[in-house]
Amino acid sequence: MQPYKALDYLDLESEFSQDERMVRDTVRAWVGDRFLPVVTEHYEAGTFPHHLTPELAELGVFGPNLPEEYGCAGLNNVAYGLICQELERGDSGLRSYVSVQGSLVMYPIFAWGSDEQKKHWLPKLAAGKAIGAFGLTEPDFGSNPGGMASRAKKDGDSWILNGRKMWITNGTIADVSVVWARAEDGIRGFLVEKGMPGFTAPEQKHKWSLRASVTSELVLEDVRVKEATHMLPKAKGLKCPLGCLTQARYGIAWGALGAALACFDEALSYSKSRIVFDKPLASYQIPQKKLADMATQLTLGQLMALRM
């Protein structure tokens, strides 16, 4: 598919390397060919097209900026941003699915996990053979994660987890969830696997947005996890989950641009086809100004995202 040349007023295309453009165009073509034809059906049903997960893995979009030794693509952050832009041009739920897998699950395992945890989980997650979730937000603590009520208590060679997490993307379908809880020595990170006794993930339905995305609660009732295998040994303190959010928000910035670009493209197309007083809507100055303002803000946003 061709780049959106109408928006490239400042020759942004020249700022991307050949590899970055190739990654973007590959994902763009996949979104157009494979995702857009089915997204309306899933949006209406409030479901995610899980059958496309192997194709997403083949594209290399899960943890794309992590090292190749773990089965990841080893791309730079600009390429990662462009991937998020193109995914969210299709749907915000699609980008969320991929962002959680890479930035909020694979990244903390890579950054704070043991060598054994990295070798066990990262290749599976990169290949889409395991799906992950990130448990930080709680019913009473969203913007203030430092006040979290979930608790972790040491018990011999294990930890006992209790608490509830809310608005968790992928929670119901996740094979493993990175769960943050408060211990005596601070906030710690744990890997909680699907099916562990005391762990449930009921889906939250009837959303008005992000409908093509699975959103869940995570309920932990005396969930016992082994310290050696299910605790992230280097994850200690609020800076760790916030570091994950920093990784994710970089991709979200690019993703929001993708959604806005899709809106602009739709508005431009409609304004050319809508006839008002025997002329296209796009021929009138006020719609032209609105479209020009949109294009200007989108270009500024792309430049800021690239600068980040």
Span 43-71, pLDDT tens digits: 999 999 999 999 999 999 999 999 999 99
Domain's final residue, options 187, 207, 239: 239
Q: Can you give the residue range of the structural domain that contains 252?
A: 5-128+243-307
Number of independent structural domains in the chain: 2
Number of H helices, E strands in the chain: 10, 10
Per-residue pLDDT of 32-43, as tens digits, reads 999 999 999 999
pTM, entire model: 0.91
170/294 same-domain check: no
Same domain, 205 and 251: no
Residue where a domain terminates, one of 239, 269, 291: 239
Same domain, 113 and 248: yes
CATH number at residue 42: 1.10.540.10
Give the model confidence (pLDDT) of 108-166 as tens digits. Answer: 999 999 999 999 999 999 999 999 999 999 998 876 777 899 999 999 999 999 999 99
Same-domain pairing of 15 and 124 = yes
CA distances from 88 to 207, 217, 259 (A): 18, 24, 5
Give the whole-angstrom CA distance, residue 84 versus residue 250. Answer: 9
Task: Say yes or no: 9 and 120 in one domain.
Answer: yes
Residues 58 and 117 in one domain: yes
